[in-house]
Amino acid sequence: MLLVNDLSYRHSESFALEEINLEIKRGEIISLIGPNGSGKSTLLRIISHLLKPMVGTVLLDGKEIQTLGRKALARKLAMLPQIQNHTIDITVRELVEFGRNPHKRWFQSLDGEDERIIQWALEVTNLQAYEYRFLQSLSGGERQRAWIAMAIAQRPDILLLDEPTTYLDIAHQLEVMELVQMLNEQFGMTIVMVLHDINQAAQYSDRIVALKDGHIRYDGDTKKVICKVMFQEIFDIDVEIYYDRHKPFFVPIRKKQDFVVSP
Amino acid sequence: MAERPLNKEEIILGEKEHPYRKRRIGAFVFLLISIVFVSLYSVITGSVKLNLQEVWEGITGTKDSMLHTIVWDLRLPRTIVGIIVGMCLAVSGTIMQGVMKNPLADPGIIGVSSGAALMAVIITILLPKYILLLPIAAFIGGFLTAMLIYALAWQGGASVERIILVGVAVNAVIGASMSAIMLLYSDRVQAVLPWMAGVIGSATMDQAKLLLTYGIPALILSLFAIKHIRILHLGDDVAKLLGHHVERSRFFLIVVSTLLAGIAVSVSGLIGFIGLVIPHILRMIVGNDDRFVLPLSALGGGMFLVLADTIARSWFDPIELPVGLLLSFLGGPFFLYILHKRGKMRAFS
């Protein structure tokens, strides 16, 4: 459903995405992993049309996202950027209402259909009791769920998440990941996320894309990508891979030994 | 984002309505009632004290009666001008604070007012033939200044600190230009002197009518700003992801707020701090949500300016203080107070 063709993007002398090709199929959960500065967040921002690529195209259902128009794109694709900083006193409900913005002309107000979707989004994210609470009074995990509720109120086919679990404690991390999994399984939402925690990526995604220095180095089934060689190449570390209930997970051993020092 | 201790009303789960609903309704009711009372107070107050019946006779009575002169030609225009100018300034400040995402933005501080003032001085002193175009000229002057400051402060984004610093520099140049014009044409300076201090006292009914024809549409236009400010508050990224055209709405907001400031300046000269103080107090009461802060600011700004003007002209008898002067005396310390409190405050932490 989403196709990235020969995409390049240069941000500065030292950083560029080059020759990115990626096909995202309907119903997949994909995680982008890679070291800091590898370009995974940038790639996500290009796919969501926050940045324009210098070369190459991004096609959504066969149409170039540039020509689609922001609103039309927002009806199909939702994204949660990394950190949401805002200064307005806004309740959970009001935040979720914003998710209906792409479906409205500027003069239109919310109708029964919107109300139904807002209630659905609150229910799915388990925030009904928080409808009239201020966002700032919520815990980090609840707040993240509220932002996800806003994104799914757009009724997107595809949901992009940029490090959705960063800054959350472990219980809230799991809560968010389980929510994401549920959105995928029950509502068929395609998920593309940038994750720092590779074990989380391995546990929850069907497919993993590993980037380094602006290039895609690995792209495939989770079980295939999570291997010792990948960790050596991408992260310069030696790891041990274990399996638990058919899901791989890794334990870091040490920084990769580039050369042997003789005693 | 820093965690903040919950207050009592927030701990109770499952509220059925917005926690600020009651105080928002309360604020509307209070301001609506007080704007009526303050307007009446300003009409009956002055060197000749009137009662309500005399006011009524003044409005309905024959054209050449003394009551008619006092009410229709002197007091009423002043009250109308006070209300509209106060509304324009407060709403202009509200919108600027929204665009800059900073509570210290204000047409006076940013330099928009002085840009508008310079154009107004040029028209009044050099081109008095075109006096009817004063509001438009003031708008253009304010707008060019706003754009200039914005451009000069831009460094991959315009931080408010930079905007204020650039504003200081631009303000200095504009102030010098105004002084130069006034020195060169010192014979005509009487026309603008009180205006520099901020007055609404000399308003005639014709001026009031002119102000209504410019001001009311601009204020109605400002209601369309609310949606743009709210969505921009979510951050540029989120706004774009929701299908919003961020640059377009920022431009629209700057135009509207400059328009309002220009209209106010063209009539009343340099009246500062209303755009800062009124929205600020309202944000503390009804929460930082422009659906409420913006219309309430209009009511509060109109009420406050009329009240301040009435006080400025009647409490310091026999001197009639320019209201701008009084507001600057009060506003300066208030500005410092916000600076001091800033960071501690939830609304803009």
- Residue A149 confidence (pLDDT): 96
Cβ-based neighbours of A39, under 8 Å, separated by 6 or more = A15, A16, A17, A211, A213, A214
Residue-range definition of the domain harbouring residue A171: 2-83+156-255
Partner-chain contact B290 A90, CB within 8 Å:
no
CATH code of A53's domain: 3.40.50.300
N-terminal to C-terminal alpha carbon distance within chain B: 9
Side-chain half-sphere CA neighbours of A156 within 13 A: 34
Q: Where are the domains of chain B?
A: 21-341
- Residue B349 confidence (pLDDT): 35
Q: Report helix, strand or coil for A21.
A: strand
> In sequence order, what E strands does B236-347 have?
none
State residue A30 phi and psi, 5-degree precision.
-115, 135
- A133 assigned to some structural domain: no
Closest listed residue to residue B320, CA positions, set B152, B209, B197, B230: B197
Interface subset of B 213-242, CB within 8 angstroms of A: 227, 230-231, 233-235, 237-238, 240-242
Both tokens of B14, joined, read 């499952």
Partner-chain contact B15 A81, CB within 8 Å:
no
Contacts of B18 in chain A (CB under 8 A): 91, 132
Measured N-to-C along each axis, helices B246-268 and B112-121 cross at an angle, to the nearest 10 degrees, of 50
Tens digits of pLDDT across chain A (263 residues):
899 988 989 877 778 888 899 999 999 999 999 999 899 999 999 999 999 899 999 999 999 998 988 999 999 999 998 866 666 789 999 999 999 999 988 778 889 999 999 999 999 999 999 999 998 888 888 999 999 999 999 999 999 999 999 888 999 999 999 999 999 999 999 999 999 999 999 999 999 999 999 999 999 999 999 999 999 999 999 999 999 888 999 999 877 666 555 55
Options 1.10.3470.10, 3.30.2130.10, 3.30.1490.270, 1.10.3720.10; CATH of B21-341? 1.10.3470.10
- Indicate if the alpha-carbon torsion angle B269, B271, B272, B273 is positive or negative: negative
Contact B230, B99 (CB under 8 A): no
- A134 assigned to some structural domain: no
Nearest to A88 among B10, B19, B230 (CB): B230
Contact B203, B78 (CB under 8 A): yes
ipTM: 0.89
- A197 assigned to some structural domain: yes
What's the rounded Cα separation, in Å, for the pair B88 and A47? 42
- Which stretches of chain B score pLDDT less than 50? 1-3, 8-12, 345-349
What's the rounded Cα separation, in Å, for the pair B191 and B4? 54
Cβ-based neighbours of A49, under 8 Å, separated by 6 or more = A58, A65, A66, A70, A73, B240
- A144 assigned to some structural domain: no
Task: Give the position of tokens 């979510």.
Answer: B234
Cis ω before B318 (30° cut-off from 0): yes
What's the rounded Cα separation, in Å, for the pair B160 and B179? 27
- A113 assigned to some structural domain: no
Q: Report helix, strand or coil for A215.
A: strand
Both tokens of B231, joined, read 């969505």
Partner-chain contact B15 A133, CB within 8 Å:
yes
**Span B259-295, pLDDT tens digits:** 899 888 888 888 888 998 999 999 989 998 999 999 9
Beta bridge partners of A60: A2, A63
> In sequence order, what E strands does A102-185 have?
158-162
Contacts of A81 in chain B (CB under 8 A): 235, 237-238, 241
Distances from the Cα of B176 to the Cαs of A215, B115, B183, in angstroms? 57, 12, 10
What's the rounded Cα separation, in Å, for the pair B121 and A139? 54
Both tokens of A113, joined, read 């259909």
Q: Are strands A215-221 and A207-212 parallel, antiparallel or unpaired?
A: antiparallel
Number of domains composing chain A: 1
How many angstroms away from the CA of B344 is the closest CA of chain A? 13
